Structure 1
Amino acid sequence: MKFEDLNPKENPEHYWDYLGYMEASAIEKNNDTIKPWDETAKKCMTLAILAPLLKGEKSSEESVKLAAAFLKRSMTDFRSIWLMLNWGYPYQAACVASSLYENSLVVNCIVDSDDLARTVMNAKNGDIPWGAQKLAKMAAEKDLMGKITDKPENSKEYEQAWKLCYRNYKWLCKIKHPTIQQLNDETNHSKVDDGRFAVIPLPDTRESGVGLKQMIMIIAVSRLFSAAKNFAMAIKCPDDDKDHIKFFSLTCEVFSELKDNISKSSIKDLPIQVYDYKI
């Protein structure tokens, strides 16, 4: 059925097809608002793809092989986030971003530890034996101290590191779970002339939603970047290996672009806030 033949007001059964046209239009509008992230996202995905292709003395470790599966899931989540942001579904993108957060942190934590990899493999019911907060603490300890222990050194730097990491997850959960904050914002963009909101799915192309989309991209890029970098470091390639050099040259580009995009972002006035968590 052609677009001009669709009449969703009189025939609600047309709305499914009508959404397709609205989403195509949303891609054009949203592409302008998150276009600065396109090159960074592309390079970050490239990093994640290149990391398992590196060859080093630890390439065949069981922990590396298991981490590769979680890295693959992280990449799929990352791509899904990008597509949903372009289609105009930032809240749904945030839900997937919470999955990316957890999967990427599992990569960070187990990729160079056969003991932790075995803990995952032997966990009851096949579940990851650590929650999001514990994963944030483990990853922060590894970043700062170089390894994960049963009793991390409780320094101010460590506290700030894991709390900042976990705060991002809390923010995503404010969107993923039913809250009045996200309800207010999501219904505001579907209000009709008499002040009510339309109870229909609707792609979000508001200018006021740009900061929300940018914040989701900041978290997504940061997490996939960290997972890919940790994976590459765990393989222990020779320093003069050309693929190793190429990989870490690209990490510098991604990190620089990420900082630049953050500095130019509109994330100061987000519609969703984490009020009950302090760093």
Structure 2
Amino acid sequence: TGVEPHLETFGGCMMGQLCPPSQLVAISFLEAMFFAQHGIRSLSLSYAQQTDMGQDREAVGALRRLCQELLPTDNWHVVIYAYMGVYPETYRGAHRLLGRAAELAVTTGAHRLIVKTVAEARRIPTIAENVLALEYADAVARRTAPERPGAPDVLGDSPTYAEARALVDAVLELDDDLGRALLAAFRLGYLDVPYCVHPDNAGRARSYIGPDGRMRWADIGRLPLRGIAEQGTARKITSADLLKDLFHVRQRYDEAALEISEGAGAELLPG
């Protein structure tokens, strides 16, 4: 009796950027399984927008498929977070990126979208800026058509699902108690968040943004993804490579905004 508690996972937002979507999906799902194992029946699973719309759609489809296959409750939904990394500085660039997040939410059937504002790159937003972001996202969502139900990415039939499922299965096999399994997974490197400096993170896995804009593994470390991951020859990531990838989304959206509007330097947000 009484009010039923609801919990939302954080795993889909791990590090904000440069964590390949398959691991974001796996951690978000495992977190939901942990909550369910402790009696929580009402859940929302988070996923944060990354660098490529197609890969993001695959990721949300994979998350949905995992929930349908393994989560012991039907009372769940997906929440999309607008990009949580280095945000565009231009008004148009920031809005365009938010618009893509709104499109992602609609086409993947998410129930909620956490928005970002045009001030994201500089400071905490005002109430008015938050309202503007909500109204803009709503306008984009209303003119976006949902994806057809049988599309492969909607069904979760993708390389992203294959990687996420391999990570989930490897962790679940470690211990019947998911709390102990998660601790063991990080200790063994079965879960390893690229560029995370937490002492419990193995720190061997590395990622990069490919020429096509998709997030890829540069080195899978001890992740149980050999023969599964979209990975070429392991490559060394330099500090210059890391900085370039950290600013990839900002540069992409700001450059597009500047091309649209001549003399758009005046569009840069004030500090």
| Higher relative contact order (CA closer than 8 Å, sequence separation 6+) | 1
Short-chain TM bin? under 0.3
TM value normalised by structure 1: 0.26
Structure (1 or 2) with the greater strand fraction: 2
Structure with max Cα Rg: 1
Structure (1 or 2) with the greater helix fraction: 1
